[in-house]
Amino acid sequence: MTLRRLPRQDGVTLIELLMALVIAALVIGPLAGMLDTSLRAGVQNNSRATLRQDLRFALERISSAARDTPRKVLAPQNTVQADSGPWFDKSRFRVNANKQLIEVRDGVDNVVAESVASFGVSARTVGLDATIIEATLRLEQDAEAAQGSIAIRMGGPSK
């Protein structure tokens, strides 16, 4: 009588499979936490970058309006106001109830920046031939903030 041999089965045992899963979980577990932290940091940096970009754009619009307006004496002097009023020939800047910085140009309201925490403009006369416009702006959204200011000679540089 001949002995019959059972064919050897190839494959992975249940124990080996479970050990592989445990090792994979130990390696991948911390990576998931790092990925979550990285995603949150990316969102926060994006929010901060957006605020800074909005701030730069708004200050550039104010600067452009001041440069495009011929020099004139403005009143009141050295007083910070929340509305530029009739200072600029073509534009007016103010903050509306929705905390948006609005540029009114040719009778049309244009949103220049959102999430405005504070806005102020002031004017001062320097010497006999220069009126300086100073503008400050602070934007806040969630836990992020950006603020900046400009001082620009009305009418642009002297000729």
Answer with the residue of higher pLDDT: 155 or 23. Answer: 23
Spatial distance between the Cα atoms of 67 and 74, rounded to a whole number of angstroms:
14
Q: What pLDDT digit, counting tens, does each position of 62-97 carry? A: 999 988 888 777 777 777 888 888 888 888 999 999
The predicted pLDDT at position 101 comes to 95
Cis peptide before 7 (omega within 30 of 0): no
pLDDT the model gives residue 33? 85
60: its two tokens: 């550039």
Instruction: Indicate if the pLDDT at residue 158 is higher than 70.
Output: no
User: What does the DSSP 8-state code read for residue 81?
Assistant: B
Specify the pLDDT at position 29.
87
Question: How does pLDDT run across 115-147, given as a tens digit for each residue?
Answer: 999 999 998 888 777 888 999 999 999 888 999
Beta-carbon contacts of 142 under 8 Å, excluding residues fewer than 6 positions away, are 47
Q: In this prediction, what percent of the chain has a pLDDT beyond 90?
A: 44
